[in-house]
A and B are shown apart, each in its own frame.
Chain A
Amino acid sequence: AQRVTQPEKLLSVFKGAPVELKCNYSYSGSPELFWYVQYSRQRLQLLLRHISRESIKGFTADLNKGETSFHLKKPFAQEEDSAMYYCALSGRSNYQLIWGAGTKLIIKP
């Protein structure tokens, strides 16, 4: 079955500390993986996707097919990173998006 798991509902770190939000997936084919973010009072929006291999707002995510993971990382957290983060998966041959339950990231000053 297709599944996306974000094991942490809440992650709290100090400003300047490294951040890692975990995402594990279960999918039999070749998935497209995404991180979406929802800042307070803003719409859900795309942060990054694995195929683009970009660093957005200092965040990176590497697809590890062996561990079926797509963890989101940032070396030095900033207060404006506080938000809700969702990992999502799409199969290339279908039109469904499967979402994780989300991780609320709080950056303490």
Chain B
Amino acid sequence: EAQVTQNPRYLITVTGKKLTVTCSQNMNHEYMSWYRQDPGLGLRQIYYSMNVEVTDKGDVPEGYKVSRKEKRNFPLILESPSPNQTSLYFCASSLAGSYNEQFFGPGTRLTVL
């Protein structure tokens, strides 16, 4: 089944403890991106990647890192999480860019204490 997967789905952690949220797609999509969703703010783009080894900042990249070593994977790294990064995170992929249909993962609910 063609899909985007994220792990973990739920995570509670403490301030400063490095964590990684994985994202994988099996559709051979070039474009992948990460969003955070907060009440009243909608989705805000954190980082995106146009292809392997090509990444760029979205609107809210502070406190996050990403990498794109393989086409299918696009992990989101929080090296020193803080409570203001408590949010619902979505990974998405599309064939070639933001103007193509985005396929979303199920979301990862992160709580930083």
Contact = CB atoms under 8 A, between A and B. Distances in A.
A97 B104 contact: no
A36 B102 contact: yes
Contacts of A36: 102
Report the interface size class on chain B.
Answer: 20 to 34
Contacts, number: 55
A99 B43 CA distance: 6
Interface of A: 6, 9, 32, 36, 43-46, 49, 86, 88, 90-92, 94-102
Given A90-B98, A97-B98, A99-B43, 10 more contacts: A86-B42, A86-B43, A90-B97, A95-B31, A95-B56, A96-B45, A96-B98, A101-B40, A101-B41, A101-B42
Across the A-B interface, the 5 shortest Cβ-Cβ residue pairs = A101-B42, A90-B98, A99-B43, A44-B104, A32-B99
